[in-house]
Amino acid sequence: MDWPAVFEGYQATVDFPSCLFYKELLAAYPDAKVVLTVRNPERWYESTYETVYQLSQLMPRWLSWRQPFGVVRRLLKLYWGGLFEGRFEERDHAIERFKAWNAEVQATVPADKLLVFEVKEGWEPLCNFLGVPVPDEPFPHVNDREEMLTRVNRLRVVQCWALPVVGTILALIIIIIGWRWMA
pLDDT one-digit tens code per residue, 94-136:
999 999 999 999 999 999 999 999 999 999 999 999 999 999 9
Q: Is the separation of the CB atoms in 134 and 124 below 8 Å?
A: yes
We report the CATH number of the domain holding residue 50 as 3.40.50.300
Asked whether residue 102 falls in the same domain as residue 165, the answer is no
List CB contacts of 34: < 8 A, sequence separation 6 or more. 22, 26, 105, 109, 113, 114, 115
Asked if 113 and 162 sit in the same domain, the reply is: no
The residues near 42 (Cβ < 8 Å, ≥ 6 apart) are 95
Residues 76 and 148 in one domain: no
Report in angstroms the alpha-carbon separations of 42 from 39, 87, 99, 148, 149. Answer: 9, 16, 10, 18, 18
State how many domains the chain has.
Answer: 2
The reply to whether 129 and 47 lie within a common domain is: yes
Please give the residue range of the domain that contains residue 154.
Answer: 144-183
pLDDT digits (tens, 9 = 90+) for 170-182: 888 888 888 888 8
Same domain flag for 82 and 159: no
